[in-house]
Amino acid sequence: MSLRNLLRATAVLEAGAGVASLLVPRLLIMSLFGPPSATPLGLVLARFIGAALLSLGMACWWAANDPDSRAAEGVVKAMLLYDVAAAVLLAHAGTSGFTGIVLWPAIAVHAAMAVWCFVGPPNCREQALAAETERAALKENLNGL
């Protein structure tokens, strides 16, 4: 698995959740937290969250086009922070009595994605270092012309 695959998988998951949160926030809230927990304010906040998730998903998709860049590395670090926070916050909701059918699967997905972001694909860091070294050598050669 490559960094590109990590970024693409994250993009699909987060953009999909974002679109669902934008288009059907009540269904998403009920699926995560259980029966009638959606208030008018909750629906507005769910749509804001949907816009943010869609933005994260698109950032991951675009970063996957240049997985060896420092920007892609930054996106992965940001997604690590997000996935850890999401898993912890959702687990707190689950232990506080919320009972949505997708709550615990969502926790598992965020935890797994956090591990993937932390560990990274095999040889990911080595590949990024090699690409950076190659770019620096190419730049030095171009400056010498």
Quote the pLDDT of residue 104.
96
Q: List % helix, strand, coil for the chain (3-state, nearest 5).
A: 80, 0, 20
Quote the pLDDT of residue 127.
62
Quote the pLDDT of residue 1.
60
Q: What is the pTM of this model?
A: 0.79
Quote the pLDDT of residue 126.
63
Domain count, the chain: 1
Residues of the chain whose pLDDT is less than 70?
A: 1, 37-38, 121-129, 131, 145
Where b means 16+ CB within 10 Å and e means fewer, 37-58 reads ebeeeeeeebeebbeebbebbe
Q: Which two tokens stand for residue 136?
A: 């620096």
* Domain encompassing residue 124: 3-144
- Nearest Cα neighbor of 31 from 46, 48, 11, 13 is 46
